[in-house]
Amino acid sequence: MLVGSAVLSRDLYGELLQGALVTVKVTGLAAVLGTLLALVGGVASLSARPAVRWLTIVYVEVFRGVAAIILLYWIFFTVPLLLDVRLSPMQAGVLALGTNMGAYGTEIARGAIQAVPKGQTEAAIALNLTTAQRLRHITLPQALVTMLPPFGNLLIEVMKASALVSLITLQDLTFEAQNLRVNRAADSVDIFVAVLILYFLMALVITFAVRQAERYLGRGLHVQPPQGMRRWAHRLSTVKR
């Protein structure tokens, strides 16, 4: 914010930072919702039940094929009329961005799960692990490491797409910047240079966090069996003895 620091007052910075906090909140909540939907969708897309697979395909194709802004408008303006409910701008924004992220993330999760070597699953079956136990202890810990890099890119896209919530009056960073511009509180160039740098810094934080998570989850993954596999193998050998 070197350019803006010479021309924007502390009060104007405060308004932009307040908007940035709203952006972070929307992005964080949408990321949580989208990640949960992606994990559930990734597992469901590989289900042995055709109905479950088809429902997952419909979800992915619909929410991935609709533009995020249309989805946002539809959830904020149409859903309340159809279901007789009242959604706040925050709720509508999180639902729109989260479901959109979940649709893209489902394909990432499905590919990551399929990338886990089949020998791992066969060994887990040999140890009499249930499907849920295989997912929790064997498949997902390895799939998460594969998922993280594309998920990091997806999180950055969600953060950038969060600017759309300004169109439904949520006072995020973009909304505050437009408000300052309309009120001529400062020059438009100075305002949007500061906004550009704030978005860039948020993207850097996401990238750093994802890389740290990838490094943490990937420790020793290719050197020794996953902890869940070792634990169940130890229990089985104890029972045999």
Q: What is the pLDDT of residues 172-230, one digit of tens each?
A: 999 999 999 998 888 889 999 999 999 999 999 999 999 998 888 877 555 344 444 44
C-alpha–C-alpha distance, residues 42 and 101, integer Å:
13
Tell me if residue 226 falls in helix, strand or coil: coil
User: Residue 231's pLDDT is what?
Assistant: 52
Q: In CATH, what number is assigned to the domain containing residue 155?
A: 1.10.3720.10
Amino acid at 182: V
C-alpha–C-alpha distance, residues 38 and 44, integer Å:
10
Instruction: Please give the mean pLDDT across all residues of the chain.
Output: 86
Mean pLDDT across 140-166: 92
User: Residue 197's pLDDT is what?
Assistant: 93
pLDDT at 35 over 60: yes
140-161 and 188-217 helices, crossing angle to 10°: 180
User: Residue 7's pLDDT is what?
Assistant: 63
User: Residue 225's pLDDT is what?
Assistant: 42
Q: Are 37 and 102 in contact (CB under 8 A)?
A: yes
C-alpha–C-alpha distance, residues 126 and 16, integer Å:
57
C-alpha–C-alpha distance, residues 170 and 75, integer Å:
14
Q: Are 151 and 108 in contact (CB under 8 A)?
A: yes
* Domain span including residue 118: 2-240
**Dihedral, 31, 34, 35, 38 alpha carbons, nearest 10:** -160
Greater confidence (145 vs 24) lies with: 24
* HEC per residue, 31-52: HHHHHHHHHHHHHHCCCCCHHH
C-alpha–C-alpha distance, residues 28 and 159, integer Å:
9
Structure tokens at 144: 């998460």
Greater confidence (36 vs 187) lies with: 36
Structure tokens at 11: 């009060």
Q: How many residues does the chain have?
A: 241
- Expressed in angstroms, the distance from the first to the final Cα of the chain is 66
CB within 8 A of 177, min separation 6: which ones?
Answer: 16, 19, 191, 192, 194, 195
User: Residue 141's pLDDT is what?
Assistant: 84
Mean pLDDT across 149-177: 94
Mean pLDDT across 24-44: 96
C-alpha–C-alpha distance, residues 157 and 155, integer Å:
5
User: Residue 163's pLDDT is what?
Assistant: 95
Tell me if residue 185 falls in helix, strand or coil: coil
C-alpha–C-alpha distance, residues 221 and 137, integer Å:
13
User: Residue 1's pLDDT is what?
Assistant: 38
The tens digit of pLDDT for each residue in 87-142 reads: 999 999 999 999 999 999 999 999 999 888 888 777 877 777 777 888 888 888 88
State the CB neighbour count (10 A cutoff) for residue 73. 16
Considering its fold, how many domains does the chain have in total? 1
